Amino acid sequence: MSTELYEKLAQSVIEGEPEDAEQLARQALADGVDPLTCINEGLTKGIQRVGELFASGEYFLPELIIGAEAMKKALAVLEPAMVGDQSREVVGTVVLGTVEGDMHEIGKTLVGTMLTANGYKVIDLGVDLSADKFIGAVKENNADIVGASALLTTTMLQQGKIIDALEAEGLSDKVKVMVGGAPVTQSFASEIGADGYAEDAISAVDLAFRLIDAPA
């Protein structure tokens, strides 16, 4: 039953049907299906397929955009269900964003949702952010962690610029840097001097706890 629902969710993204995606997400919650599993087994598989079809030339930019819209509609229903009651004590503050020149927001937002669900205060700055924007927000919010997402091979180098800027401001000892995004790897993260790399939103949460040495 759930498998069929995950397939339908994936299909709504592949076919670019935002209304279907939203309705299926509502149905999933009403049926008591775990929202994170809906994201991982349904929506993410769908958007990955969209990416493959784009890479092979079968899909073009409009299909990429409408597929992302469908995923966002469903996430808007599922994500609040994952965050739940936030009355617990704040574990730490994370300044989060997608680097300069990069408009991809879905994975970054998911990382923010999972961190929020696990007790972090998340300052989500959005997308296309210069290193200066990250630094400004770190100072303003006295952040413990900077989280930088990059989805393009051309923009992942911007993650290193944030690390350099933190160093130039004398903030490297105070703030940990976590990087992620589809083209980013552990070896790239080490190369640019990031404190940690996470492959997905769940590992990002584990990493955040390790970086600030907080009990999970």
**Interacting residues toward ligand B1M by CB under 6 A:** 44, 47-48, 50-51, 54-55, 61, 64-65, 68, 101-108, 110-111, 147-149, 151-153, 178-183, 198, 200-201, 204
Q: How far is the CB of 85 from ligand B1M (least distance, A)?
A: 23
Q: How far is the CB of 213 from ligand B1M (least distance, A)?
A: 18
Residue closest to ligand B1M (Cβ): 107
Q: Which is nearer to ligand B1M, 5 or 50 (CB)?
A: 50
Kindly give the residue spans of alpha helices, DSSP state H, lying in the chain: 2-14, 18-30, 35-37, 44-55, 61-83, 106-117, 131-141, 157-168, 186-192, 201-211
For 88, list phi and psi in degrees, rounded to 5.
Answer: -75, 170
Q: Which is nearer to ligand B1M, 37 or 48 (CB)?
A: 48
**Residue 81: both structure tokens together:** 């269900």
Q: Which residue has the tokens 């961190």?
A: 115
| Residues counted in the chain | 216
Q: Which is nearer to ligand B1M, 30 or 143 (CB)?
A: 143
Angle between helices 61-83 and 18-30 (to 10 degrees): 20
Q: Which is nearer to ligand B1M, 33 or 36 (CB)?
A: 36
Q: How far is the CB of 26 from ligand B1M (least distance, A)?
A: 20
